[in-house]
Amino acid sequence: MEKRKLGPSKIEVTPLIFGAWAIGGWKWGGTNKKEAIRAIHRAIDMGVNSIDTAPAYGFGLSEEIIGEALKGKRDRINIFDKCGLRWDVQKGEYFYGAKDFEGRPFKMYRYSGKEGIVEECERSLKRLKTDYIDLYQIHWPDSTTPIEESMEAMIKLKKDGKIREIGVSNYSLEQFKEAISFAPVVSNQLPFSMVDRHIEEDIIPYCMENGYAILAYSPLQRGLLTGKVTPDYKFKDDDHRKDNPFFTIENRKKVLKLIEKIKPIADSHGVTVAQLVINWTVNHPGITAALIGTRNVKQAEENFSSLNFKLSEDEINEINKWVNQTVLEVSY
């Protein structure tokens, strides 16, 4: 698998990154630890060199699984982790209320105070069983903490050798510009897919012009672009997609029409629609790499073979024609 430069850093990343939210189990109906470890190993064998996680993915469980999976393999993979999304302290900006694995209610906060970031990093290092994190990202902007303060913590961690590079996630262009004015930030992790392209308006052009990396998450729009989410599909109560605005009945119908139009291109290459969507995403101008959520070996083998074919210019233009005509009813 090819490698791309992670913005102005020395890190080289494969265009496909193992997304480790789902293996944390929370909001995904639980997890199978052994199968998750096998999936990570299969991805590495297929050439994937980076994995993305966060403490909030299963309250540390995703990190613990990764730590176990990477025994003897740490030198083969970059660990991208995050901080600033807290369930264990009531500080910062209230994010949302939810329930834990046992159904107990709690409140999630965005908190990027300096001492909080340093504390989180130490905990993550222990769960990951490693001495350093390759890319450490602030998960969400925190309106109660000055960006300068957050960046001071990230710079300290970098100087101390706890992290190699600094990144952010879900930052607007204005917030991103402020962050890079205080610290050597190299990337912004943002949602991007065929049906969620709002970052094309400002962030993608800015990052392309100035050499910063964009890590795209939810390239399959959390499964919506696989074609498996039909209008009559019923989500379980603990499925986070149940109340997501992208998954309204009307939006599902629109996406199925899009899939109907692009499926012949997938068929001509002998691949699935999901593989076609992933291929299109990582070859979209300005996208450095995409996080591909993976829970088992079967998904790993399908997901990480999505670059084993090349789309022609005519095929890309055909896909873009139908993508441009698909406008979902969502608000940002």
> So which residues are the catalytic ones?
57
Considering only CA atoms, which of 180, 84, 91 is closest in space to residue 139?
84
Distance CA 171, CA 147 (A): 11
Q: Decide if 246 contacts 273 (C-beta within 8 A).
A: no
From residue 83, give the alpha-carbon distance in Å to each of 86, 107, 196.
8, 16, 24
Bridge partners (DSSP) of residue 157 are none
Q: Are strands 78-83 and 133-138 parallel, antiparallel or unpaired?
A: parallel
Bridge partners (DSSP) of residue 12 are 5
Give the residue carrying structure tokens 């209230």.
94
Give the start-end residues of each E strand in the chain.
4-5, 12-13, 16-19, 50-52, 78-83, 85-86, 93-99, 105-110, 133-138, 163-169, 185-191, 213-217, 289-293
